[in-house]
Amino acid sequence: MDTINTLLAFDTNYILVALLVLFFMLETFFNRSERVGSKINHLINNGLFQLLAIAIGSILGWMAVSTFSWIEANNFGLFNLIDMPYWLKITLGVFLIDFADYWFHILDHKSPLLWRQHRVHHSDTHMDASTSLRTFPTELIYFLIGELIISVLFGIDIMSMSIFFFILVPLFILHHTSIEFPAWVDRGFGWLFVTPNYHKVHHEQDQYYTDSNYGTIFIIWDKLFGTFKFKPVSEIKYGLKEFVGPEKQSFLYQLRSPFLSTKKITEDHT
Ligand SMILES: [Zn+2]
Ligand SMILES: [Zn+2]
């Protein structure tokens, strides 16, 4: 348990930077056709969003720590009413946090107001590991609220939340890397996890596919609730039609974009 605690106490920003450097090198090595200059430019535009995330990090941390301290002090939530082994409580907690993210992600797509913040992540027309950084800051607060609501209701332990993020950080980078993954990765892990090939379908320009594969860590919710779709990565066109063009891909344009009335361009699938 001590080893787990030491690992979980490690600042995720260090892990994030180390993984981004590693994936940048791997992507450059495996995808020789990608120009390093444009890749660095892409990394800077997306990486600036991470600086905003770090800026609001203390607010997010305070929200999480005070909520979990309150749950513990008051012995609140369903899990605290039932006698169950600690490992089961922690495992169920990880799945429930992911379950909350699934529904909040769907709401992000369905509500026109929330879509304005969420489309920043979807608008990237060139997918690589740095796309994982492209998240509008309010979205981090939005998802955290969802995770904390379910934590209060079920009396989830802070350890579940820590494990959730410990899995999520590397997996989320992996979801967006431009490295190609063979079909056996989907066959081997895709019964439980959102694989990179599955998450990339979620980034397809065609809204029929954009509105699918909402899972964060686990794909089971999509398979259970009928939102799972598949398209080979080689046929996927990334981004959103309304955000195509270099001027619309810059950090400053993206930062302004939630406040712009940009009409959704969709395809008819009827
Ligand atoms: Zn989405
Ligand atoms: Zn994504």
Ligand nearest the Cα of residue 139 is 1
CA of 79 from ligand 2 middle (Å) equals 31
CA of 104 from ligand 1 middle (Å) equals 10
CA of 135 from ligand 2 middle (Å) equals 9
Sign, CA dihedral 113-115-120-121, equals positive
CA of 153 from ligand 1 middle (Å) equals 25
Cα–Cα distances in angstroms (integers) from residue 95 to residues 34, 75, 161, 220, in the given order: 37, 20, 10, 10
CA of 81 from ligand 2 middle (Å) equals 37
pTM of the model: 0.92
Report the pLDDT value the prediction gives residue 143, as an integer from 0 to 100: 97
Q: Along the 270 residues of the chain, how does pLDDT read in single tens digits? A: 566 566 556 677 788 889 999 999 999 988 877 788 889 999 999 999 999 999 999 999 999 999 999 999 999 999 999 999 999 999 999 999 999 999 999 999 999 999 999 999 999 999 999 999 999 999 999 999 999 999 999 999 999 999 999 999 999 999 999 999 999 999 999 999 999 999 999 999 999 999 999 999 999 999 999 999 999 999 999 999 999 999 999 999 999 999 998 888 876 665
User: Which candidate, 158, 128, 104, 114, places its Cα nearest to that of 19?
Assistant: 128
User: What is the signed CA dihedral for 201, 140, 256, 245, rounded to 10 degrees?
Assistant: -20
CA of 152 from ligand 2 middle (Å) equals 27
CA of 123 from ligand 1 middle (Å) equals 10
CA of 75 from ligand 1 middle (Å) equals 34
Do residues 33 and 128 make contact, with C-beta atoms less than 8 angstroms apart? no
Strand (E) or helix (H) holding 259: none
CA of 174 from ligand 1 middle (Å) equals 16
CA of 16 from ligand 1 middle (Å) equals 21
Ligand nearest the Cα of residue 134 is 2
* CA gap 46, 7 in Å, rounded: 27
Report the pLDDT value the prediction gives residue 264, as an integer from 0 to 100: 83
CA of 79 from ligand 1 middle (Å) equals 30
Report the pLDDT value the prediction gives residue 154, as an integer from 0 to 100: 97
User: Which candidate, 5, 1, 6, 8, places its Cα nearest to that of 164?
Assistant: 8
- Summarize pLDDT for 220-263 with one digit per residue, the tens: 999 999 999 999 999 999 999 999 999 999 999 999 999 998 88
CA of 34 from ligand 1 middle (Å) equals 25
CA of 176 from ligand 1 middle (Å) equals 13
